[in-house]
Amino acid sequence: MTYAEVTFGAGDGTGAADCHGWHFAGAGDALATSAGRPVVVMAHGLGGTKDSGLEPFADGLSKAGLDVLAFDYRGFGSSGGSPRQRVSMTAQLDDYRAAMRAAGGLPDVDERRIVLWGASLAGGHVLAAGAGRDDVAAVVSLAPLVDGLAAAWHALASHKMSSIAQSTVAGVRSRVASARGRDPVMMPVVGRPGDVAAMTLDGYYEDYLSLVGPTWRNEIDASVGLQLGGHRPGRFATDLRCPLLVQIADFDRSAPPYAAAKAAFKGRAEVRHYPCDHFDVWPGNEWFQPALAHQVSFLTRHLSPTTDG
């Protein structure tokens, strides 16, 4: 797997931080036009970094003839910015848009054929980032979290109320501390059942850690949970002007499958179902290869220069 390192200004426009990315050049000219090849903009989910499972997806898509820009949000992985390890839905969406601008300037790519790719939390970001734009040629949303309120209700089926209460208290303490200029309260991204962490479902600790790379840290600002109630990117699916692929893990205990299906219906999406849990579509698991194959099939069908749409 060969890639070039890329840096670009984070989406806040202040010049205070740079995002770091990997550019995978597309193989061959099967999807190229006189303007260049289509380019995929790709980022991770909650607390994830590009070295934690994105590379096999990027490699598979680049071998199919698409350029790929995989990047870290500001404050995570190899990207600059502070505070570190704090998820801001608004900032991450701005970073996606900044990455789209950067991707359009890469050599031999067509800036009018951008593909947005997101998984989990980012699977919702790509719906919002692509809404209303004519330069977005396709969107891929993998095991997406598209409705924070639905996710909260979904969590009640598999978490103890005491665990949810502890995480909520930690989030409130972190927000108060930050408002007073103090260090935020941190908690693990993923823990075992009974831990106070963002993700604590049985098996998730092992699943997540099987993916992680050297820049990933098992730490996140505890206030992330307080943002989820109002986080509803699924509503933007109706505003996409391009083909949409939604890939649903039918037994997903983290991102509600029914919410993903609802967003897919709104976006007139092509839908693929996998009889598995949230992490089972990631590299090293049974449903990774089918999920990647469906992405390749979807994108080559819609982005071939001989295809009308």
Give, for all 309 residues of the chain, the pLDDT tens digit.
689 999 999 986 667 789 999 999 999 999 999 999 999 999 999 999 999 999 999 999 999 999 999 999 999 999 999 999 999 999 999 999 999 999 999 999 999 999 999 999 999 999 999 999 999 999 999 999 999 888 776 766 655 555 666 667 766 677 777 778 888 889 999 999 988 889 899 999 999 999 999 999 999 998 888 888 789 999 999 999 999 999 999 999 999 999 999 999 999 999 999 999 999 999 999 999 999 999 999 999 999 997 544
pLDDT at 160: 58
Separation of alpha carbons 87 and 246, rounded Å: 23
What pLDDT is recorded for position 184?
A: 85
DSSP β-ladder status, 186-187 and 220-221: antiparallel
The DSSP element (H or E) to which 24 belongs, if any, is: strand 18-24
pTM score: 0.93
Per-residue pLDDT, 308: 47
Tokens of 292: 């990647």
For residues 242-272, b (16+ Cβ closer than 10 Å) or e, as one string?
Answer: bbbbbbbbeebbbbbbebbbbbbebbebbeb
